[in-house]
Amino acid sequence: MKGTLLFLTLLAASAAQAQQAKKPDPDFLGGRDVQQVTGEQIFTHICQGCHMPDAKGATGAGRYPALASNPKLASSAYPAVMVMNGRGGMPPFSMLLDDKQIAAVVNYVRTHFGNAYTDTLTADAVKAFRPPPPPTDTKEH
């Protein structure tokens, strides 16, 4: 009986917390031009699942670092490269997000959640972090 009551209490608390979290935008990618997706929407739909809605991170099945009040975000290059290439348990997003979208989510995180880094990362700066395309073979066979 005690175990069931504890489970129901935890379930109710979890449901209440989920309702308080920012609700995903149903138009995130469906019915919307992907180029118009904002940094906030990218954070909400991709990043907050691990880093949490308040960006304070989490520990459980893995360790998800806090982005809130994070001094490592002082240089925009650090989060840009992390988003693009991943590290540890974080997957790379360079194939999913274009340069403009990576800049948008990095700028969003660097100006929210207790971060006040106001220098703006541009899509051109993100492009510089991508490896050059492989050379094309111009020889005829």
Q: Residues 3-25: what's their mean pLDDT?
A: 47
Q: What is the pLDDT of residues 37-93, one digit of tens each?
A: 899 999 999 999 999 999 999 988 888 999 999 999 999 999 999 999 999 889 999
Q: How far apart are CA 89 and CA 71, in angstroms?
A: 21
Contact by Cβ (8 Å): 117, 73: yes
Q: How far apart are CA 111 and CA 69, in angstroms?
A: 10
Q: How far apart are CA 102 and CA 86, in angstroms?
A: 12
Give me the pLDDT at residue 93, please. 95
Give the domain 31-127 fold: Cytochrome Bc1 Complex; Chain D, domain 2 (1.10.760)
Q: What is the pLDDT of residues 84-122, one digit of tens each?
A: 999 988 999 999 999 999 999 999 999 999 999 999 999
Say if pTM beats, i.e. exceeds, 0.85.
no
Give me the pLDDT at residue 83, please. 96
Between the alpha carbon of residue 67 and those of residues 88, 106, 114, the distances in Å are: 16, 10, 9
Tokens of 99: 């340069």
